[in-house]
Amino acid sequence: MVKLDRKIKEKLFLEAIRVRENAYAPYSNYKVGSALLTDTGEIFSGCNVENASFGLTVCAERNAIANAVVEGKKKFIAILVLTQDEEPGTPCGACRQVISEFFNPDAVVLLANTSGIKKEILVSELLPQPFKFKKSL
């Protein structure tokens, strides 16, 4: 497990709080913010963006990852997911699969609500058996 110091956790938390306010959630009113830490120490963030056709909704976690990829980053060591519930929500199944694509199994997933970080788990705990594409020979 990667050890994150308090200052890094606080930066991730504050960034997720900031971008959560920009969430577009007119249907569910469930705003989510996310911030990730790259292997070079950079932070990228995302919020959820809903759509009337719910299948087209994009979660905060995937938006944070996409924002980092746009900037050429593809190696991440931690991600924070911030929801409004007393017991923080966890990433959906699609986000778990995408997280498993970009993070090592021992990377940290921080689960938070607006009061602070409530839980730390590993990517391997989030999705123990991710789908892995096997190229044919």
Active site residue 21: no
Give me the residue label for tokens 């190696």.
75
CB under 8 Å to 31, separation ≥6 — which residues?
20, 21, 23, 25, 47, 48, 84
Selected catalytic residue, list 61, 71, 86, 87:
61
Query: What DSSP string runs through 18-41?
Result: HHHTT-B-TTT----EEEEEETTS
Show the tokens assigned to 95.
């986000």
Catalytic residues: 61
